[in-house]
């Protein structure tokens, strides 16, 4: 495993140890290794969503045969809640926010009141800051909303028990009194969708049993390494989907 990983206050951390936590026993079967629900998407943003707007459903379903796609109508509102809660009960971790532009704020908060193990991203961030013990994955612009209300991302994490992964040239992770910086990645990753990939990796690791802080730290490392590998092949022409293709290769690294 490359030495380029993190600087952190938790000196006992190592990437290798977190990878070991993800190793699967030989007798596991489908459904035991993490289930993730993604609530997001609209007619404008359609990439890699699962519970998504009706008009986005065909584009999402065509993205991958591995996705099970359902719709909540054209807007996430009160009528969407029963289906959303049903799927949240099924999932180990739920991502909410990527590409989510058409929603009722009251419905969004009502969903979050009953949901567990949320990874909150993009448009949902500013509406769900009051909720505790989840993961927030803002980019630097979205993190400004947190700083305006709490003074700093670190104060927000300390006061609410949330974990914050700020996506940037150097990813920064805050969780309680713990912090970490991730140095993997490259400038070629500054294209649309790479942040969504990172959010999805966080949810995947969280659903497999890592803590919010562990999942965020390891996801930042893996996403950055995938970006580096994709850049080696595609240069500045890489797309977010190229990172997705590289993630399994990074996970094989010893």
Q: Report the candidate in 148, 155, 124, 151 with the shortest Cα–Cα distance to residue 137.
A: 124
| pTM confidence score | 0.86
Please give the radius of gyration of the chain, using alpha carbons only, rounded to the nearest integer. Answer: 17
Q: Give the 3-state secondary structure percentages of the chain, helix then strand then coil, rounded to 5.
A: 45, 15, 40
What is the model's pLDDT at position 11?
42
137 contacts: CB under 8 Å, gap ≥ 6: 119, 120, 121, 164, 165, 167, 195, 198, 199, 202, 216
Residue ranges per domain, the chain? 34-116, 122-254
Tell me how far apart the alpha carbons of residues 96 and 72 are, in angstroms, rounded to a whole number: 13
Lowest mean per-residue pLDDT among 58-67, 92-101, 141-150, 174-183: 58-67
Give the confidence band of 44 by pLDDT, cuts at 50, 70, 90: low
Q: What are residue 13's phi and psi, to 5 degrees?
A: -75, 140
200 contacts: CB under 8 Å, gap ≥ 6: 36, 38, 48, 95
What is the model's pLDDT at position 84?
93
Residue 252 has pLDDT above 60, yes or no: yes
Tell me how far apart the alpha carbons of residues 87 and 62 are, in angstroms, rounded to a whole number: 21
**pLDDT tens digit string along 55-82?**
444 544 445 655 666 777 778 999 999 9
List strands edge to edge, sheet with 178-182. Answer: 6-8, 178-182, 171-175, 163-166, 135-136, 118-120, 93-96, 36-39, 51-52, 70-71
For the domain spanning 122-254, the CATH number is: 3.40.1190.20
Average pLDDT, the chain: 85
Q: Stretch 91-115: mean pLDDT, rounded?
A: 93
**pLDDT tens digit string along 128-153?**
999 999 999 999 999 999 999 999 99
Lowest mean per-residue pLDDT among 29-33, 91-95, 101-105, 215-219: 29-33
What is the model's pLDDT at position 159?
97
Residue 42 has pLDDT above 80, yes or no: no
């Amino acid at each position: 495993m490359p030495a380029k990983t993190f600087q952190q206050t938790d000196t006992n951390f190592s990437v290798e140890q977190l990878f070991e936590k993800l190793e699967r026993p030989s007798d596991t079967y489908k459904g035991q290794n993490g289930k993730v629900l993604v609530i997001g998407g609209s007619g404008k943003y359609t990439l890699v969503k699962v519970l998504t707007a009706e008009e986005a459903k065909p584009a999402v379903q065509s993205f991958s045969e591995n996705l099970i796609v359902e719709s909540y109508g054209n807007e996430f509102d009160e009528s969407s809640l029963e289906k959303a809660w049903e799927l949240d009960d099924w999932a180990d971790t739920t991502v909410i926010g990527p590409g989510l532009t058409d929603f009722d704020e009251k419905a969004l908060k009502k969903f979050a009141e009953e949901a567990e193990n949320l990874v909150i991203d993009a448009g949902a961030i500013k509406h769900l800051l009051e909720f505790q013990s989840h993961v927030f994955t803002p980019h630097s612009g979205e993190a400004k909303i947190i700083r305006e209300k709490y003074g700093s991302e670190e104060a927000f994490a300390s006061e609410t028990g949330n974990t914050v992964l700020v996506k940037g040239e150097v990813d920064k992770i805050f969780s309680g009194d713990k912090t970490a910086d991730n140095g993997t990645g490259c400038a070629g990753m500054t294209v649309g969708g790479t942040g969504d990939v990172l959010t999805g990796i966080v949810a995947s690791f969280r659903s497999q049993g890592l803590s919010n802080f562990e999942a965020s730290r390891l996801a930042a490392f893996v996403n950055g390494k995938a970006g580096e590998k994709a850049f080696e092949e595609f240069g500045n022409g890489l797309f977010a989907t190229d990172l997705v293709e590289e993630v399994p290769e990074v996970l094989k690294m010893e």
